[in-house]
Amino acid sequence: MRTIAKHLLVITFFTLVTLIVTWPLIFNPNTLIIDRFDGLLITWILNWNIHSFSSGITGLTNYFQANIFYPFSNTLAFSDYHFLSALIATPFVLVFKEPLIAYNLTLILGFILTAYTTFLLLDFLTKDPKTATLGAILFTFSTLHINYLAHLQLFAFWPVILTLYFLFRKWRFPYIALFVLSSLNSPLNFYFLLLSFTLVLIFQKDQRWATIPTILSAIIVAPFFLPYIQISRISGYVRPINDVIHFSFQIPDLFHISPASRLWSLSPIRDNLTPGYFGLVFFGLAALMLAFNFPHREKIKLQTKFFVFLAGISFILSLGPGLHIFRDTIHVGPLPIIPLPYLALYYLLPGFSGFRTPSRWILLTAFALAMAIGLYFAKRLNGKLITFLIITILVEINFPFSYSRVPSLQDFPPEQAWLVNNYVGEPIIQFPLYNWSDQPEFGLETLREYYSTIHFHPMVNGFSGYSPKPWEERVKWLQKNFPSEESLSYLQNLGIKLVLAPAAWRNMTAWENRLKLVASFPETNIYEML
């Protein structure tokens, strides 16, 4: 009973802290969103998953064939799947009928479950619940972790942590299940876990039992990664090495304080690159641990060594293909003059050439470092000091956060509601049409994806982590040439059934022989292609 009471108390504490930090999100989960662009993309992905889960065999067999970028295939694989997050959100969306709940539930649980699973792992390894609570707060509410709020597949880090918990507990089947589900949330999680498992084998020989379960997990995940490979092969798509270098972490980023911290106005760096500041208490405890720990390396516990090495290797990987000298990378031809291990992985390890942002490895660094700190300081800090440190961490968070407001289901545009029961399943196109490079207008496309969650008509429109070059070129062509005889013939040959255009576009009446007006609304007219 004491154990159950302890865990209930810890979960209640993390929940209260989360509700305070995210205030007033809990009272507006159907209208507020932390990120207007990637946030709505993820909302659409989560709801596509839910749509697939609830559509029986048809939904599952067409799981990868999402409704954007028509007529391209495997369009769900243009971004991360968010499979596990969608699985958890499914009953809530089906009951409350609000698509945005999927996103905000994932965000709130991202705080609570990341904190709780970190506590769970630290408490198991240290038998010190007070220090475990400090370690959980240290990572979960660090400004670095909060920087990933817009990228829920990474912010919701708890599946990775829970997988490691099952690994250390030697629970075979839960380990396999969470390894698979974590990888299906984001392919990057797969590589996080693969690195972690490899290091565990080095530092703890008794964990060899997990070799076969890890291989089995990879085999189960493989079919879900095939669409990524097919897209890459068909389009010849890889992230250019120059892009990868540009989005790598740089050592000065450690001093780049984001608006997530109340100290951000003191940051010496003012640009839009990666904020890599962990937090005042985080840096202080890490410095103390490293200063007093490493002079006595022979006394370091194997588990602490594991997390220190995991933090170090993931930090090196976050630096990308080549070491930056401040903000510059010196090259010899296309290659950096000071190459790093990521360069070999980019060319040799399947999947790495598809990642654009090596800096995301810094998230694993922060988690591993928080674990090492918790292990080192276990039973060395008294309750009052731990309470003071936790309060200091939370005070530094610059909340309340800034939210954007989007329409709830009842306020969706009437033409979107009309599509629910008319021409069901028929392909559509919505004008004006924008590419991701049409800033800031492309935000309209993320809204359209969000609106499409109530009808899921296949549509030419789209916004994701990747867009096919032929689609981008065709969008530019349609922007210039629609409506014209050639553009209408193109859309007809493509199989488009409905064209949605602004009601203010008066030139549409000139094409009555090709377009039949079937519905009219204050902002939008809907035409059937003849």
Q: What is the pLDDT of residues 139-169, one digit of tens each?
A: 999 999 999 999 999 999 999 999 999 999 9
Q: Which residues contact 224 (CB under 8 A, 6 or more apart)?
A: 81, 83, 183, 184
386-412, pLDDT tens digit by residue? Answer: 999 999 999 999 999 999 999 999 999
Q: Give residue 373's Cα distance to chain centre.
A: 26
Sign of CA dihedral 478, 479, 482, 486: negative
461-490, pLDDT tens digit by residue? Answer: 999 988 889 999 999 999 999 999 999 999
Classify residue 516 by its DSSP letter. Answer: E
Would residue 149 count as lying in a domain?
Answer: yes
Provide the pLDDT for residue 326.
Answer: 61
Judge if 461 and 363 occupy the same domain. Answer: no
Say whether pLDDT at 18 is over 70.
Answer: yes
Would residue 97 count as lying in a domain?
Answer: yes
- Whether 302 and 207 have beta carbons less than 8 Å apart is answered as no
Judge if 219 and 274 occupy the same domain. Answer: yes
204-245, pLDDT tens digit by residue? Answer: 888 889 999 999 999 999 999 999 888 877 666 666 777 787
Provide the pLDDT for residue 299.
Answer: 47
CATH of the domain at 516: 3.40.50
Classify residue 514 by its DSSP letter. Answer: T
Judge if 418 and 382 occupy the same domain. Answer: no
Q: Give residue 166's Cα distance to chain centre.
A: 23
Provide the pLDDT for residue 343.
Answer: 86
Give the integer Cα–Cα distance in Å for 413 and 530: 25
Across all residues in the chain, what is the average pLDDT? 91
Provide the pLDDT for residue 357.
Answer: 86
Sign of CA dihedral 218, 221, 223, 228: negative
Look up residue 169 and give its two tokens.
Answer: 């507990």
Q: 96 falls in which pLDDT band (50, 70, 90)?
A: very high
Judge if 9 and 85 occupy the same domain. Answer: yes
100-132, pLDDT tens digit by residue? Answer: 999 999 999 999 999 999 999 999 999 999 999
Residue with more model confidence, 73 or 292: 73
Report the alpha-carbon angle 86-40-15, nearest 5. Answer: 55
Judge if 217 and 247 occupy the same domain. Answer: yes
Please give the single-letter amino acid code of residue 453. Answer: T
Would residue 392 count as lying in a domain?
Answer: yes
3-state helix, strand, coil in the chain (%, to 5): 65, 5, 30
Q: 328 falls in which pLDDT band (50, 70, 90)?
A: low
Given strand 524-529, what is the order of strands in its sheet? 428-430, 498-502, 524-529, 515-520
Give the integer Cα–Cα distance in Å for 84 and 106: 10
Would residue 482 count as lying in a domain?
Answer: yes
Judge if 434 and 367 occupy the same domain. Answer: no
Judge if 349 and 461 occupy the same domain. Answer: no
Give the integer Cα–Cα distance in Å for 312 and 198: 14
Angle between helices 361-377 and 187-203 (to 10 degrees): 40
Would residue 51 count as lying in a domain?
Answer: no
Judge if 300 and 399 occupy the same domain. Answer: yes
Provide the pLDDT for residue 344.
Answer: 87
Q: 78 falls in which pLDDT band (50, 70, 90)?
A: very high
Would residue 45 count as lying in a domain?
Answer: no
Cα–Cα separations (whole angstroms), residue 46 to 68, 99, 447, 454: 14, 8, 15, 13
Judge if 114 and 153 occupy the same domain. Answer: yes
Would residue 49 count as lying in a domain?
Answer: no
Judge if 108 and 203 occupy the same domain. Answer: yes
Q: 457 falls in which pLDDT band (50, 70, 90)?
A: very high
Final residue belonging to a domain, choices 384, 404, 424: 404
Would residue 57 count as lying in a domain?
Answer: no
Give the integer Cα–Cα distance in Å for 45 and 104: 13
What percent of the chain clears pLDDT 90, i.e. is strictly above it?
Answer: 72
Angle between helices 341-348 and 302-318 (to 10 degrees): 70
| Cα R_g (the chain), whole angstroms | 25
Final residue belonging to a domain, choices 404, 425, 454: 404
Judge if 394 and 434 occupy the same domain. Answer: no
Provide the pLDDT for residue 298.
Answer: 43
Helix (H) or strand (E) holding 526: strand 524-529
Strand 428-430 and strand 498-502: the pairing is parallel
Say whether pLDDT at 330 is over 70.
Answer: no
Final residue belonging to a domain, choices 404, 430, 458: 404
Provide the pLDDT for residue 97.
Answer: 94
Cβ burial of 238 (10 Å; 0-12, 13-18, 19+) is middle
Strand 404-405 and strand 32-33: the pairing is antiparallel
Q: Into how many domains does the chain fold?
A: 2
Judge if 139 and 188 occupy the same domain. Answer: yes
Sign of CA dihedral 164, 169, 170, 176: negative
Most distant CA pair in the chain: distance in Å?
A: 84
Q: Mean pLDDT throughout 293-301? A: 54
> By three-state DSSP, how is residue 331 classified?
strand
Domain of residue 228: give its range: 2-30+80-404
Q: Give residue 409's Cα distance to chain centre.
A: 24
